[in-house]
Amino acid sequence: MAPHVAARSQENKTYPMRFAVPDASVPWSVPFPGYQPIKYVFMRKEEPGKPSFADAADPKTIANLKDRFSHEGFALDATTGAPLNPGGRTGMTDRGRLGKWGPNHAADPLVTRYHPETGELQLVVIKRKDTGAWALPGGMVDPGENVSTTVRREFKEEAGNLQDPAAASRFNELEAALFGSGGTVVYKGYVDDPRNTDNAWMETVAMHFHCDSEMGRLLPLEAGDDAAKVKWVTVDASLNLYASHREWVSLVEKSMRRKALLRKALIFGLPVLVAAGVYALVGKSKKA
């Protein structure tokens, strides 16, 4: 894992100043004698009638904390009993704005299309309300929820908030076909999120869904929930996204390029192979 960057940053403006951690001092295995991380936890107002999502203040009181599922695995701090971020030091302890000690699980949909006119690879992105960064329309996995359900629910909430009934019904029809296709898991693991702390961090499962030309042309988009805006963006070198999202887009880009090459090879190579086969057969029958 490369040393996390956003998790040591002040990108989330509601966070107090973190203790500065140089790249070389990020891993827990490297001693950092003067390390004095700042403690920060944001106490959310309880919503009447809703069960509290946040963990208890003292990690030692939480049963089976060390057995919480993580894609990366983690250890507990011997003194405080708090989980240790597998990405290393962040300059901050406690939970920050995250609800859970240890891993906080999300799921992210990467919805792509080829632009109907230019043929460029494009991606659905939303503008986050917290940092203002463009991001994948992902979100937290609800308790007991399957990630395939989360990616679809989050895409609908953040990108499919259509008020016009005709547009809403077109969106529903197209997203059902798109997400019904199953999608491909492109990444599972740690997210370099600006909300991470030494003891609480984001992990995700990122899934790719590609729109065929009709879907890509017709899918209407409207921002909702945590998203201030939504749009199709061209995937090029200038594309910069929240947390680790750009890395997974690069994985999708590579795999789409490989598939396109394979398709071309089949389209142009197949006739050559058939011709060579026919030629060989004709040659054999002439000799016989």
Q: Which two tokens stand for residue 278?
A: 């026919």
Instruction: Please identify which residue in 82, 92, 98, 136 interacts with ligand RP5, judged by CB under 6 A.
Output: 136
Least Cα distance to 193 among 277, 90, 100 occurs for: 90
Q: How many residues interact with ligand RP5 (rule CB under 6 A)?
A: 13
Rounded to the nearest whole angstrom, what is the least distance from the CB of residue 213 to ligand RP5 in the complex? 27
Neighbours of 37 (CB within 10 A): 18
Listed ranges 6-14, 29-37, 133-141, 171-179: which one lies at the site for ligand RP5 (CB under 6 A)? 133-141
Interface with ligand RP5, residue 226, by CB under 6 A: yes
Instruction: Please identify which residue in 7, 65, 82, 140 interacts with ligand RP5, judged by CB under 6 A.
Output: 140
Listed ranges 2-10, 134-142, 207-215, 254-262: which one lies at the site for ligand RP5 (CB under 6 A)? 134-142
Strand partners, 92: 38
CA distance between the termini of the chain: 63
Interface with ligand RP5, residue 106, by CB under 6 A: yes
Rounded to the nearest whole angstrom, what is the least distance from the CB of residue 13 to ligand RP5 in the complex? 15
- At residue 102, the 3 state secondary structure works out as strand
Q: What is the rounded CA–CA span in Å between residue 123 and residue 219?
A: 12
Output helix, strand, coil percentages for the chain, rounded to the nearest 5: 30, 25, 45
Interface with ligand RP5, residue 241, by CB under 6 A: no
Listed in sequence order, the DSSP H helices in the chain are 147-159, 165-180, 213-218, 245-287
Tally the C-alpha atoms within 13 A of residue 6's C-alpha that lie toward its C-beta: 20
Interface with ligand RP5, residue 204, by CB under 6 A: yes
Listed ranges 37-45, 135-143, 232-240, 260-268: which one lies at the site for ligand RP5 (CB under 6 A)? 135-143
Q: Which two tokens stand for residue 150?
A: 């989360």
Nearest residue to ligand RP5, scored by beta-carbon proximity? 138
Rounded to the nearest whole angstrom, what is the least distance from the CB of residue 195 to ligand RP5 in the complex? 7
By beta-carbon proximity to ligand RP5, the closer residue of 55 and 193 is 193
Rounded to the nearest whole angstrom, what is the least distance from the CB of residue 177 to ligand RP5 in the complex? 24
Interface with ligand RP5, residue 252, by CB under 6 A: no
Listed ranges 17-25, 136-144, 167-175, 213-221: which one lies at the site for ligand RP5 (CB under 6 A)? 136-144
Instruction: Please identify which residue in 65, 191, 211, 235 interacts with ligand RP5, judged by CB under 6 A.
Output: 191
- At residue 270, the 3 state secondary structure works out as helix
b or e along 260-276 (b: 16 or more beta carbons within 10 Å of the residue's beta carbon)?
Answer: eeeeeeeeeeeeeeeee
Interface with ligand RP5, residue 108, by CB under 6 A: yes
Listed in sequence order, the DSSP H helices in 184-244 are 213-218
Residues that bind ligand RP5 in the complex, under the rule CB under 6 A? 106, 108, 135-136, 138-140, 191, 193, 202, 204, 226, 243
